[in-house]
Structure 1
């Protein structure tokens, strides 16, 4: 890859210094500590630090070119500076070109929304895999190439890593990639320059206001995914969500609206719905429903629990239609889809007591999980809810989640999630501000102790919801990560109790 190839991919404001267009580029980086010979360093203005402060270190490390929004006042004529309007956008476009525009060779499906991204991307991947379309996956639980799962630090990686993954997937024989697209990634332009063939909107509820500042700004960030779709692309939306039409207001793509209704109620169907799930029953074993589009309808038993998961299912189905599959081939993929780790994942004891591990860490997700459990549990069974809230994140949702737990649970246990740099007790204070009950309420800061308490209280017919961390296998306390797995602890306690039964 020559320097001029990268330069042609971005809009330049100014060039300063010596330009040798045919010089081969060795690497791209935005961390000055990773700069080596023939590296292009991109200075990014971050929230905690400004990459422009590290331009001298990049120059000393022999960077061949500096991409920046502001050229230093004093510079050597032997050093090349490429001034751009927006370094984040430039990084995304340079990264795409450096990795040979790999994303253009893949069918790219993006899923955005507050909740349901991981489940929906997993279902779409199952549909494509079942129809012999080798598909990569990028999301909260990591990235998948073939059958191998690798860890990621965030839901949507930075632009450089993202395009590196696309390149790896293409080399591995993938023909498509389905990815979670976070609001942070959209706002920070990590996905700039990616041509999405299908975009899916699940829902929008209270979250990430520490970053976006307001629900309006949060929605505007999500909307960017749909604003940039081409006329040949497809936008699949949950039409029952209040923000759905806002998402596609300026969208040029083909719009597919999805919905879910209870088939036993005399409820008028929304005439604008293109793909509808008509649910006949929700049970602990799954959901019986008809998914009907304009051509087909047939009853199926899906493994997913609850109405919110039927939205994920019907949107995955609609994405399959947009991809060009018929109903039989889509359903075949959905039937093969295994449960997603940490998403309403059931853990049973030998004496038939049930705990559910779920990633619900927003008010809406917690309420959906609890209402689903209420719907499928035995009539006299109790709901035991254990949850916490992450540190250094949106504080407004903490008392809201406390109230939701109080309104939908028989027993509440508040505990630590990932406190990060915050005082765990202070986080619990914030949650407890939304809880007014005194009986059947426990405050246990140590999460393992709290889980043990929940399982000790659990009797046959009850359901214990262990919420917040889901698939995560660590806990972050005071800046350090420790191994921690909710499911492992539940199983351990169940085993310990077997000899006492």
Structure 2
């Protein structure tokens, strides 16, 4: 009944009866069917209030709004609320039988590392024998079955439907990425989190949030809303790590490589063989590579401890866990021993972390050749910074196309080229065609050189003018390596 679905929703006014049965919830008027409820959400591009008439024609019997439409229909229930985004989350949670209360839900937020940490937690707890669910940028998983992901965090109704499927599959733990967009748009409203993790925050998504302060505020608002029964884990080495948790009611924990913390790590060795670390004074070898992964491992370790796993059991299992697809995945050509690395790094900080890791992996005079682009219709301010970072840490840089979307790749490259100083121009070239850019990078490489292909990672497509074309950086790399052998 509509009345039950509206429990805890901030209702301002009701016109009509809430004593009506609702068969489904929708935020897209096109998907509305008979006896359903349409929630009119004000989105970034469109306003759901403009499609109320369409929803009613398609069979909606209840409409949730922030402002009543000028034309009201008899037999239709109109509910005015403070925020329809919040209402959608709460109502969806009720409609799908409060799925997040049926397992332990842990969310991960931050500019970089969300996918790796969430995926590692899923793999870790699966390895420990638990039935788990995963909601991530790369894919969604339910008890080992893989489902394609369309967003980092789905809309509130789709998300609760997915979580309901996880509850039905008897998942005991669910790990999910909580993006800043999802937090701001209230897609996770109504969910009951057992724990929340913060990885870091750097320059990203300013095309959406407009200012860095607003980006920080949105991330922090999630922690501010956690209950006292939850735990919150933050990166003490991030400038905003303490700020993130300063107003949370949840129990606070911190992890660090540089200072005293609840979960303290120290890197003893970092090579292509993996990370050798001390974790709370225990000597452990991990499969993952790089300082950024040392932080990811500490975050996962902290969550495992907070979820009640014994330290020794946790570290033994964690030592064999691998990262997410497209995150510092490397391959080596057979004859030339050229190292190719594919990474999702699409922010200046992420690119810096990957290149700094590569620098530490070098054992001699190997050249570092970086292929990097920036997405179209997104934050333009980071473009010159991305090129600047690439030039600073690479012997050769090829600027190329990422997902240009509806922008002209030449314009994106021009923005990136603005970050290349006079000296760096000698080692930088621009090739708009991504395949040709990667092919050129391989042709520049000689024995033992390192080729980094950054920006797309796990993605299997390139979006150009609204069309997704098949393109897989890792497969392109492997194909080009095979050509070297012929």
Which runs of 5 or more structure 2 residues have no equivalent in the other structure?
Answer: none
**Which residue does 1:276 correspond to in 2?**
264
- SS at 1:472's partner residue? coil
- SS at 1:143's partner residue? strand
Equivalent residue in structure 2 for 1:174, among 150, 171, 174: 171
Equivalent residue in structure 2 for 1:387, among 360, 368, 372: 372
Give the conservation status (yes or no) of the 8 Å contact 2:119–2:323.
Answer: no
| CA shift digits 1:165-223 (9 cap, x unpaired) | 11000111201100010011111111111121111100000000111111111111111
Larger deviation: 367-376 or 120-129? 120-129
**Which residue does 1:142 correspond to in 2?**
139
Q: What is the CA–CA distance in structure 1 between the aligned matches of 2:469 and 2:480, rounded to whole Å?
A: 19
**Which residue does 2:160 correspond to in 1?**
163
Give the conservation status (yes or no) of the 8 Å contact 2:286–2:321.
Answer: no
How is 1:295-306 mapped onto 2 (pairs within 5 angstroms)? Answer: 297-306=281-290
Q: CA RMSD in A?
A: 1.1
Which runs of 5 or more structure 1 residues have no equivalent in the other structure?
Answer: 262-269
**Which residue does 1:266 correspond to in 2?**
none
How is 1:115-130 mapped onto 2 (pairs within 5 angstroms)? Answer: 115-130=112-127
- SS at 2:257's partner residue? strand
Q: What is the CA–CA distance in structure 2 between the aligned matches of 1:457 and 1:147, rounded to whole Å?
A: 41
Give the conservation status (yes or no) of the 8 Å contact 2:134–2:175.
Answer: yes
Runs of 4+ in structure 1 over 6 Å off: none
Q: What is the CA–CA distance in structure 2 between the aligned matches of 1:63 and 1:187, rounded to whole Å?
A: 27
Pairwise CA distance, 1:442: 1.6
Q: How many residues align?
A: 483
Give the conservation status (yes or no) of the 8 Å contact 1:237–1:258.
Answer: yes
Equivalent residue in structure 1 for 2:190, among 171, 193, 197: 193
* Alignment partner of 1:308 is 2:292: yes
Pairwise CA distance, 1:445: 0.2
Q: What is the CA–CA distance in structure 1 between the aligned matches of 2:241 and 2:418, rounded to whole Å?
A: 32
Q: What is the CA–CA distance in structure 1 between the aligned matches of 2:274 and 2:18, rounded to whole Å?
A: 62
TM-score, normalization by structure 2: 0.97
How is 1:489-500 mapped onto 2 (pairs within 5 angstroms)? Answer: 489-499=476-486
Pairwise CA distance, 1:241: 0.3
Q: What is the CA–CA distance in structure 1 between the aligned matches of 2:274 and 2:447, rounded to whole Å?
A: 19
Pairwise CA distance, 1:126: 2.4
- SS at 1:336's partner residue? coil
- SS at 2:371's partner residue? strand
* Alignment partner of 1:39 is 2:36: yes
TM-score, normalization by structure 1: 0.95
Give the conservation status (yes or no) of the 8 Å contact 1:377–1:462.
Answer: no
Pairwise CA distance, 1:77: 2.5
Q: What is the CA–CA distance in structure 2 between the aligned matches of 1:134 and 1:333, rounded to whole Å?
A: 16
Q: What is the CA–CA distance in structure 2 between the aligned matches of 1:97 and 1:20, rounded to whole Å?
A: 15
Equivalent residue in structure 2 for 1:346, among 320, 330, 344: 330
**Which residue does 1:290 correspond to in 2?**
278
* Alignment partner of 1:452 is 2:449: no
| CA shift digits 1:217-269 (9 cap, x unpaired) | 111111122111222211111100000111011011111111114xxxxxxxx
Equivalent residue in structure 2 for 1:336, among 312, 317, 320: 320
**Which residue does 1:58 correspond to in 2?**
55
* Alignment partner of 1:463 is 2:450: yes
Q: What is the CA–CA distance in structure 2 between the aligned matches of 1:211 and 1:339, rounded to whole Å?
A: 28
Give the conservation status (yes or no) of the 8 Å contact 2:288–2:322.
Answer: no
Give the conservation status (yes or no) of the 8 Å contact 2:201–2:240.
Answer: yes
Pairwise CA distance, 1:9: 4.2
Give the conservation status (yes or no) of the 8 Å contact 1:287–1:305.
Answer: yes
Equivalent residue in structure 1 for 2:311, among 302, 324, 327: 327
How is 1:433-448 mapped onto 2 (pairs within 5 angstroms)? Answer: 433-436=418-421, 437-448=424-435
Q: What is the CA–CA distance in structure 1 between the aligned matches of 2:361 and 2:419, rounded to whole Å?
A: 26
**Which residue does 2:351 correspond to in 1?**
366
Pairwise CA distance, 1:30: 0.9
Q: What is the CA–CA distance in structure 2 between the aligned matches of 1:326 and 1:20, rounded to whole Å?
A: 49
- SS at 1:118's partner residue? helix
